[in-house]
Amino acid sequence: MKRILVGIKRVVDANVRIRVNPDGTGVMTDGVKMAINPFDEIALEEALRIKERGAADEVVVVSIGIADAQQQLRTALAMGADRALLVRSDTAVEPLTAAQVFLKLIAREEPFLVILGKQAIDDDNSQTGPMLAALWNRPQATFASKIELAASTAKVTREVDAGLETIEVDLPAVITTDLRLNEPRYVKLPDIMKAKKKPLDTLTLAELGVEPRAQVKLVRFEAPSQRQKGVLVKDAAELVGALRKRGVI
């Protein structure tokens, strides 16, 4: 069976204003709307389109996190994924641990393609995909804005600093998705009802033989400083003088 494995992460909704806990220990999440990481939603949409074109038989969606992440997995099932896997972890998982989890799941599921979002909007690491490709010893194509599949290869257009770059990789491979790859579909009520009957299995890190190891210690969270009010100037000379006074030029 030709299977695509898609990773999604539970994050604070992109439309919610982020607030830091008063003690600086993290971001406030109590009563805050959570959602699928936007780049992961794009990854899932692309996997579903590949399946609809007949190039894949099954789309399996995976999330690593607390039990509440089942809500985002159910949303992914409502979008069209066939099965969902939740790997339980009550603590934050760093990119290397996430890559190790996906490597174990690859051994179980044997996908021909793994699609991940290029980064999560909460930590912005952009590391899980490349780390997974290295551990799996398979090609990677990051920041994809277009994907064209052939029998044993994938042609991927990447967004790079200089513009666009097109590469071809052998399958199986890891692809991470950029913002302009597609527009995720809206979930309809009948699909939400159907998703309740789709399989959602739960595993633990221990069952997969993965031991989480903290590589980074978060010392403190701080909100960005407020922007200063603008100043009106009469002409260019006054503007230059004000900039010099502030030491900008």
d(CA 241, CA 61) in angstroms, rounded, equals 57
What sign does the dihedral 114-118-123-128 (CA atoms) show? positive
Match domain 3-245 to its CATH number in 3.30.300.30, 1.10.3720.10, 2.30.40.10, 3.40.50.620. 3.40.50.620
- pLDDT per residue rounded down to tens, the chain (249 residues): 899 999 999 999 988 888 888 888 788 888 889 999 999 999 999 999 999 999 999 999 999 999 999 999 999 999 999 999 999 998 889 999 999 999 999 999 999 999 999 999 988 899 999 999 999 999 999 999 999 999 999 999 999 888 899 999 999 999 999 999 999 999 999 999 999 999 999 999 999 999 988 888 888 888 888 887 887 888 988 888 888 888 878
| Residue 249 CA from chain centroid, whole number | 40
Please state the domain extents for the chain: 3-245
Q: Is 12 within 8 Å of 37 (Cβ atoms)? A: no
pTM to 2 decimal places: 0.87
What sign does the dihedral 212-216-218-223 (CA atoms) show? negative
Structure confidence at residue 32 (pLDDT): 87
